[in-house]
Amino acid sequence: MNRVAVIGVGVTKFGELWDYSFSDLFVEAGSAAIIDAGIDGKDIGSIYVGNMSGGRFVNQEHIASLIADHAGLNPVPATRIEAACASGGLAVRQGVMAVASGMHDVVVVGGAEKMTDITTEKVTQILVTAADQEWEAFLGMTFPGLYGMIARRHMHEFGTTREQLAEVAVKNHANAKNNPTAQFRFDVSVEKVLNSTMVADPLTLLDCSPITDGAACIILATEEKAGEFCDSPIYITGAGQSTSTIALHDRLQMTVSDATINASKMAYKMAGKTPGDIDVAEVHDCFTIAELIGIEGLDFCDIGSGGRFTEEGCTAIGGEIPVNTSGGLKAKGHPVGATGVAQVVEIAYQLRGEAGKRQVDGAEVGLTHNVGGSGGTAAVHILER
């Protein structure tokens, strides 16, 4: 099996990008990644695109062909990957498998979503298509509602406090200040989070990731091919994917992400690493409670202790395991199809020592964790310098 290297990365600014079309976003991120890798279009064997719902957000299906066309990469084969908010993470996995298997020497993996051209109400309706339609969405449930229930149950079972949830937002906004492509580059306080508009008890507006436009792209290559373009490639040494029940009420324990646990075990085993080996991680934090159950499922701390672990500063830059140095979905932004790819971009910056003021000293091993829905899908990747 071939070793898989990340030889180029690119990302657009995240936010309300009124002057960009959907295809503009991907072309900008893809062009940046190709330039960063120093490759030519003729080197590319395949394209994998993470996109949750172009057909609903911008009335555009046939996404993969559109992107290959607008990027000037015809006739390169292109494939769209959909797994709700984990679409980008699964696109990365498909790219890894294509290179590792020897099918292709070089592939492009991207993710893009254009979400802000419609109303918040319509966005909410589109996003909840990733929940169980018969038992959740039909009864009026939304994702803030689902994660609000997870948060309440976590507080009940483990003594997690409202302030500990808010600390996730405080940390991630502090990191986003130093990320030039982040959507929200400003500080928030625990008090500001607690006093912001209630969305789904106990989650307030500042516990929730925003509606975002954006795209991200990476170039993957075999070790041999990487040597032609790159002096110090980053290797993806572990990849894991798992599924769970799509409906929250069918899980054995709603406060535990079994998909995260299983995907991370697969990735750790493949890479020959343990949670203690990880120097920096991008963890799916669509809501503040999601980061807590994410770091617990990844075994960075015990189940139920994520709130205390965060409150003690263990996930801050300089802490035991810095989490979401990019600002996370919460402050960097969450263009759902692009998120999993953007996480790899951030870890590549960290391992290349190019993260600026948010750099984790001596980072050599990083991890990405991307979740679909309320935990029906999880993808975990481990990267090494």
Q: Out of 85, 208, 286, 314, pick the active-site residue.
A: 85
- 291 backbone dihedrals φ, ψ, rounded to 5°: -65, -40
Cβ-based burial of 21 (10 A; exposed 0-12, middle 13-18, buried ≥19) = middle
75 preceded by a cis bond (ω within 30 of 0): yes
- 203 backbone dihedrals φ, ψ, rounded to 5°: -85, 125
β-pairing verdict for 377-384 and 365-372: antiparallel
**Which residue in this structure is represented by tokens 């110090």?**
232
Number of C-beta neighbours around residue 41 at 10 A: 12
Query: CA-to-CA distance for 287 and 202, rounded, in angstroms?
Result: 11
Per DSSP, the three-state class of 167 is helix
Q: Out of 104, 154, 173, 334, pick the active-site residue.
A: 334
- 381 backbone dihedrals φ, ψ, rounded to 5°: -130, 145
The CA-based diameter of the chain, rounded to the nearest angstrom, is 56
Q: How far is Cα of residue 202 from the mean position of the Cα atoms in its chain?
A: 24
Q: Are 17 and 229 in contact (CB under 8 A)?
A: no
4 Cβ contact list (under 8 Å, min separation 6): 96, 99, 100, 220, 221, 222, 223, 235, 236
- 166 backbone dihedrals φ, ψ, rounded to 5°: -65, -30
Q: Are 207 and 167 in contact (CB under 8 A)?
A: no
Query: CA-to-CA distance for 20 and 27, rounded, in angstroms?
Result: 11
249 is catalytic: no
230 is catalytic: no
Query: CA-to-CA distance for 38 and 197, rounded, in angstroms?
Result: 47
Q: How far is CA 29 from CA 22, 48, 114, in A?
A: 12, 14, 14
Residues marked active site are found at: 85, 334
